[in-house]
Amino acid sequence: MSFQTEKGQTYLELDFVVDPLQPATDILVAELSGIGFESFVETDQGLLAYIPRGDFEASRFSSLYIFSNPEFEITWSKREIAQKNWNAEWEKDFHPISINDTCHVRAPFHKSKNVPYEIIIEPKMSFGTGHHETTYMMLAFLLELDLENKTVLDMGCGTGVLAIMAEKRGAKAIDAIDIDIWSYTNTQENIQRNNCKRINAFEGDAALLKDRKYDVILANINRNVLLEDISIYAACLDSEGILVMSGFYNTDMPMITKKCCEYALNFKKNLERNNWVAAKYVF
């Protein structure tokens, strides 16, 4: 993720070992963002998180909800690190991706590619570059869906990459919502960066969906939030509406599908990458 240190600024690096990795890692990032952590790097075992040394408050850190959740086992170590150019570090490790040679997701500093859909994303402190399996699969679904003149919701929009693809695929109006202020701000930036005109970004959660209706809802969040909000998504879908969700593992599919069936949402298809799943449901 991208940020630039001030001259002489000393940072703390916290190295988290997380079990299970998801949804605990996503929850941890959200909570750490709220107490001043500025950058995150996912590892095979968990997460590296960075904060200016002077901004670290031990009492706020130790009181985070996730540390008291018995579903997760989290250990961590802390060390001071020398000043780095974090933008350069991020650019070194961030590579463009292609989906079916049809969609190309790149950063502003990458070369353009001649494909039907090119999306320029600078993620900063948000998630959703297309590199994570869930975002990749959601984009793959969007390449299949008929979005011409449809209304679309991108719930948990992250960088706004799905909303941007929805507009490029012909959607007439898109709402992009995220509870995280960094994601909301980054989505607005990426909307402008891709010259999108039909996307409205909002900071908030599913409470914003009251009395709204959509033809297509995209929700790339985590299993627990999805299970809690499926009923709200169902209430917001128009007749023959489509719900596409990701952010969960293949072992979670039975409970996701069971919850959807309770609200007359029928399973149609799923994609899978490295045990992650994206699934499509329709009325």
- Give DSSP secondary structure letters for 2-22: ---PPTT--EEEEEEEEES-T
φ, ψ for residue 85 (rounded to 5)? Answer: -90, 95
Residue 3 is predicted with a pLDDT of: 36
Residue 87 is predicted with a pLDDT of: 54
- Give the percent of the chain with pLDDT over 70: 89
Domain boundaries, the chain: 11-83, 96-282
Structure confidence by residue, pLDDT tens digits, 173-217: 999 999 888 789 989 999 999 999 999 999 999 999 999 999 999
Element holding 274 (H helix, E strand): none
**pLDDT over 60 (residue 60):** yes
Residue 43 is predicted with a pLDDT of: 84
CATH of domain 11-83: 3.30.70
CATH of domain 96-282: 3.40.50.150
Q: Look at strands 199-203 and 173-178 and give their pairing.
A: parallel
Highest mean pLDDT among 2-6, 176-180, 217-221: 217-221
SS (H, E, C) 188-231: HHHHHHCCCCCEEEEECCHHHHCCCCEEEEEEECCHHHHHHHHH
SS (H, E, C) 142-185: HHHCCCCCCEEEEECCCCCHHHHHHHHCCCCEEEEEECCHHHHH
Q: What are the strands, taking DSSP E only, across 9-155?
A: 11-19, 39-42, 46-52, 73-81, 97-99, 103-106, 117-120, 151-155
Residue found under tokens 């990032």: 29
**pLDDT over 60 (residue 283):** yes
Residues 6+ apart with CB under 8 A from 100: 140, 143
Averaged confidence pLDDT in the chain: 88
Highest mean pLDDT among 5-9, 67-71, 90-94, 261-265: 261-265
Residue 86 is predicted with a pLDDT of: 54
Residue 134 is predicted with a pLDDT of: 86
Structure confidence by residue, pLDDT tens digits, 110-149: 889 999 999 998 866 545 555 678 889 999 999 999 999 9
Q: What is the mean pLDDT of residues 157-184?
A: 93
